[in-house]
Amino acid sequence: MAAAPPHVLLLPLPLLGHVSPMLKLAKVLSLRGLLVTFLTTEHVHRRLSADEGLNCRPGFSFRSIPDGLPADHPRSGGQFTELVKSLGAQIYEKYRDLLVSLREPWPVTCTIVDGLLPFAAEVGEELEIPVIVFRTSGPCSFWTYFCIPRLIEAGEIPFPVGCDMDELVRSVPGMEGFLRRRDLPSICRVKESSDPILQAIASATQRTTHYRGLIFNTGETLDAAELAHIRSTCPVTYTVGPLDTILCALDRSTGSAAGPPSSSSPGWWREDRTCMPWLDAQSPKSVVYVSFGSLTVLSRPQLLEFWHGLANCGHRFLWVIRPDLLEEMDGAGDIPVELAEATKEKGCLVEWVDQREVLGHPAVGAFLTHSGWNSTIEAISAGVPMICWPFFFDQMVNSRFISEVWRIGVDMKDTCDRATVGRMVNEVMEGERADEMRRNVVGLSEMVRECVDEGGSSRIHLDQLIDDIRALS
């Protein structure tokens, strides 16, 4: 009897920063001839279906399961943690039943699951379906998560009361020279080492060593040192990014009609394209692009500090203000009319953009970002230097790498005042340091491009991943 064809199921955490890169990988695997099922929650599925470019290829199907929250729950803004909790409680049985019943066109031979959904890995083990983990953050933060047990053992977590947050931490091998307390993932800022979120993420990260492999959306050379540490415990680690670029290249070479949507976040919010003609009218490298990703929320005072900082900095700006960006949803967060009037000429406000397209526009000179991993890798690919205002989780580590390791931006972590915003934007937009950061980021962008070019490390890792998946069927 002929062997069953490889059928891979992918399951992301239902948040954009996780869905988006895993959907890209799903499409890449499909373009390379595997049967692919992309499983997500009904809510995410509805949001994705709003995107017209998402027509399916033969052998590619979407499946969805409920997330356990009421239909009118926003699942975003400040309330996304309820989603994570609900998932943990609801999904195990449903996922198990689906995996058992999913026999068309063929049974699932391998799963690629989000590293933050350990139950999915448990189901795989129970049903003896091999599990590969996709970690949607970068290797640099993954390594810090991996070191949480040793940070606790060394007494470095929890931080001593009244300690200096600028002091270096000693228990993350390879980062002793530059990683300060404040640069550890935000979940390390706890009173007790038994904190449930700290423990949940630390143990999900430790478990990575049990699975068939670990995937990162990055280029090998960008994170070589951290990857060497990670491979000492997770030897089968694939770097297949930036997936955006791989997907575009594959799509061109296969002439696929049902390829990827050009957008970096298909159908999440309605894209406002009015900023494109506005950008076209600006001179090269003159605009600061401002976006805090899909989850960050700002208080009204914080919004106003950014606003004043941008108004005073002397540069034009394009600012993504998502419908749920503000903590206060009752209109109390509206911008004062005088301020909006005063910046009408120099600012363009939109609810959502195609970030990849914006970062690739010649008018964009810098990116004021929350340092989410997707945004970071997109900015590096586009060669745009960054002003970082990390909000939580891995963003604390990413922004330190941006400012101190890659030297492609500045880090305003833990501050939010108009003077700092204005000063840091100017530092990245003008002067000798700005030139140096720009040179560095253009260098990195060439480096990651080499990873995805024919024969580059990401292509080799992708081939290896596909061979390994085939061997599992």
Active site residues: 18, 114
Residue 34 or 222 having the CB closest to ligand UDP: 222
Contact call for residue 202 and ligand UDP (CB under 6 A): no
Contact call for residue 472 and ligand UDP (CB under 6 A): no
Whole-number CA gyration radius for the chain: 22
Contact call for residue 375 and ligand UDP (CB under 6 A): yes
Closest distance of CB 181 from ligand UDP, Å = 17
Residue 115 or 309 having the CB closest to ligand UDP: 115
Among 6, 9, 10, 20, binds ligand UDP (CB under 6 A): 20
The pairing of beta strand 35-41 with beta strand 60-65:
parallel
Contact call for residue 419 and ligand UDP (CB under 6 A): no
Size of the site for ligand UDP (CB under 6 A): 35
Contact call for residue 394 and ligand UDP (CB under 6 A): yes
Residue 135 or 438 having the CB closest to ligand UDP: 135
Residue 7 or 75 having the CB closest to ligand UDP: 75
Contact call for residue 293 and ligand UDP (CB under 6 A): yes
Tokens, residue 267: 């159908």
For 21, 106, 159, 235, 441, the CA distances from 213, given in Å and listed in that order, are 17, 23, 33, 8, 30
Query: What is the spatial distance between Cα 232 and Cα 220, in angstroms, rounded to a whole number?
Result: 15
Closest distance of CB 470 from ligand UDP, Å = 26
Q: Are 6 and 469 in contact (CB under 8 A)?
A: yes
Phi-psi region of 455 (alpha: psi -120 to 50; beta: other; left: phi over 0): left
Give the distance between the most distant pair of CA atoms in the chain.
75
Phi, psi of 184 (to 5 degrees): -70, 155
Contact call for residue 434 and ligand UDP (CB under 6 A): no
Q: Are 291 and 375 in contact (CB under 8 A)?
A: yes
Contact call for residue 137 and ligand UDP (CB under 6 A): yes
How does DSSP classify residue 168? B
Contact call for residue 347 and ligand UDP (CB under 6 A): no
Q: Within 13 A of 209's CA, how many CA atoms are on the CB side?
A: 10
Contact call for residue 84 and ligand UDP (CB under 6 A): yes
The one-letter amino acid code at 71 reads A
Query: What is the spatial distance between Cα 138 and Cα 9, in angstroms, rounded to a whole number?
Result: 22
Angle at 64 between CA 63 and CA 65, to 5 degrees: 140
For ligand UDP, which stretch binds (CB under 6 A), given 158-166, 167-175, 337-345, 374-382?
374-382
Query: What is the spatial distance between Cα 184 and Cα 400, in angstroms, rounded to a whole number?
Result: 9
Residues 296-325 that bind ligand UDP (CB under 6 A): 320
Query: What is the spatial distance between Cα 383 and Cα 202, in angstroms, rounded to a whole number?
Result: 33
Contact call for residue 15 and ligand UDP (CB under 6 A): yes
Among 238, 373, 389, 401, binds ligand UDP (CB under 6 A): 373
Residue 60 or 319 having the CB closest to ligand UDP: 319
Among 81, 233, 254, 415, binds ligand UDP (CB under 6 A): 81
Query: What is the spatial distance between Cα 324 and Cα 297, in angstroms, rounded to a whole number?
Result: 7
For ligand UDP, which stretch binds (CB under 6 A), given 119-127, 373-381, 433-441, 443-451?
373-381
Contact call for residue 458 and ligand UDP (CB under 6 A): no
For ligand UDP, which stretch binds (CB under 6 A), given 60-68, 197-205, 208-216, 414-422?
197-205
Contacts of 345 (CB under 8 A, 6+ apart): none
Contact call for residue 390 and ligand UDP (CB under 6 A): no
Tokens, residue 332: 């109390």
Contact call for residue 8 and ligand UDP (CB under 6 A): no
Contact call for residue 265 and ligand UDP (CB under 6 A): yes
For ligand UDP, which stretch binds (CB under 6 A), given 48-56, 101-109, 273-281, 366-374?
366-374
Contact call for residue 201 and ligand UDP (CB under 6 A): yes
In the chain, count of helices (H) and strands (E)? Answer: 18, 13
How does DSSP classify residue 392? S
Angle at 266 between CA 346 and CA 63, to 5 degrees: 160
Residues forming the site for ligand UDP (CB under 6 A)? 15-17, 20, 80-81, 84, 115-116, 135-137, 141-142, 197, 200-201, 264-265, 291, 293-295, 320, 352-355, 372-375, 378, 393-394
